[in-house]
């Protein structure tokens, strides 16, 4: 278990820009009203050069 936590910590440290400049994530959210009611959507994305990774909730 300790090994997993250490590896996860190293990946988190590498992902936050410790080996280069930090990458700022983008947050997008929207709210819409329709006949079915109120709908909301939130998304986050990170872009570095030509690569973009995102997730919508």
Provide the domain limits for residue 50. Answer: 24-57
Query: What are the CA-CA distances from residue 44 to residues 17, 29, 37, 41 (Å)?
Result: 17, 9, 24, 10
Query: Across-strand partners of 53?
Result: 46
Residue ranges, the chain, pLDDT below 70: 10, 13-20
Residue 57 domain flag: yes
CA gap 18, 13 in Å, rounded: 6
Q: Is residue 5 part of a domain?
A: no
pLDDT, residue 7, reads 73
What local confidence, expressed as pLDDT, does residue 37 receive? Answer: 93
pLDDT at site 17:
55
Name the domain count of the chain: 1
Residue 14 belongs to some domain of the structure: no
pLDDT tens profile 34-49? 998 999 999 989 888 7
Q: What is the pTM of this model?
A: 0.49
- Domain membership of residue 11 (yes or no) is no
Asked whether residue 33 is assigned to any structural domain, the reply reads: yes
Residue 9 lies in a domain: no
Instruction: Using DSSP, state whether 19 is helix, strand or coil.
Output: coil
């Amino acid at each position: 278990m300790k090994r997993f936590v250490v590896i996860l910590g190293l990946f988190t440290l590498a992902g936050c820009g410790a080996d280069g400049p930090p990458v700022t994530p983008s947050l997008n959210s929207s709210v819409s009203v329709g006949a079915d009611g109120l709908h909301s959507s939130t998304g986050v994305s990170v872009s570095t050069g030509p690569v973009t990774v995102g997730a919508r909730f």
